[in-house]
Structure 1
């Protein structure tokens, strides 16, 4: 009976969100990506991401770092907005506090979404990345927040960056709009 009560309590608890719908536009990708958010793994990160999306903070934010065979990074709401001075894209965050790491056993496989951070494990803020392929060397080092459930073909088409760091040259692809979905 105790286990049954725990299941009902879990079912009755309010969900933060179930996902994000991301409209991507640019020279490479054009289409919709649906991300299932994993609030059970990273509730603090999911709360921050959904709050920023609800405020429209991610709208018109560029994919500033895109490494073929690895990942596409976006979410710099401070310096990564299309139309602004993007010379510092990738160095900023939001006006919210940084987040404590919420590491899990979920591996960084193709389509997994993780939070970007500096060398400090507790420095994730607004930036996130989507895996093109597996990157198991990230396991236990970065917080998994979700996975792509639809539109991986759109992710695959995101304009690639150049050089070892994957910095996008010229006009980057952007998240035209990011909507929280139930």
Structure 2
């Protein structure tokens, strides 16, 4: 009976994406990045990213915060669209509710993708970041959602920001298309 209940639970749960393909264009990066989404590590966050990608919400969103040797942040579907007021990029999210933290023991190594959040651990919404290098001080405090499996050279070329906060000056690189694949 228990096996039957587990089988029904699997059938009732939504099928999650396994990969994201992100096309990036700009002064720095031009190419495709493939991310393996870790639905077994952070099912709620992976479902949100997949949902927003399928809706086209990430298309046209810029990398607004890029810190050399650390990470590139994007995903502000509210204020981060190319052509918008870039001074507000990074201050928004989606119209969906914030997500409860799904912390894991997966370390923040080079190529790992994590969810950005405010001070509250349960404030992640749509923004995410890709690690240029290891950032183990983030371990256990931010949700890991995936890993770059192809195109890390494209990530490495993303236009860097300036100053301590990594704000991108001028024309930022943009995710022209974000596609969910099985």
TM-score range with shorter-chain normalisation? over 0.9
The ranges of structure 1 where at least 4 consecutive aligned residues each deviate by more than 6 angstroms after the TM superposition are: 10-13
State how far apart, in whole Å, the 2-side matches of 1:77 and 1:41 are: 24
Partner in structure 1 of residue 180 of structure 2:
180
With 81-90 and 135-144 compared, the bigger mean Cα shift is at 81-90
Partner in structure 2 of residue 153 of structure 1:
153
Partner in structure 2 of residue 134 of structure 1:
134
Partner in structure 1 of residue 59 of structure 2:
59
Question: What's the TM-score, normalizing by structure 1?
Answer: 0.94
Q: 3-state SS of the aligned residue for 1:23?
A: strand
Partner in structure 2 of residue 95 of structure 1:
95
State how far apart, in whole Å, the 2-side matches of 1:71 and 1:94 are: 21
1:82-130 residue CA offsets vs partner (Å, 9 max, x unmatched): 0111211000000000000000000000000000000100000000000
Deviation for aligned residue 1:40: 0.4
Partner in structure 2 of residue 163 of structure 1:
163
Partner in structure 1 of residue 123 of structure 2:
123
Question: What's the TM-score, normalizing by structure 2?
Answer: 0.94
Deviation for aligned residue 1:61: 0.2
What is the number of residues matched between the two proteins? 178
Q: 3-state SS of the aligned residue for 1:36?
A: strand
Partner in structure 2 of residue 78 of structure 1:
78
State how far apart, in whole Å, the 2-side matches of 1:120 and 1:83 are: 30
State how far apart, in whole Å, the 1-side matches of 2:19 and 2:48 are: 13
Q: 3-state SS of the aligned residue for 1:35?
A: strand
Deviation for aligned residue 1:15: 3.4
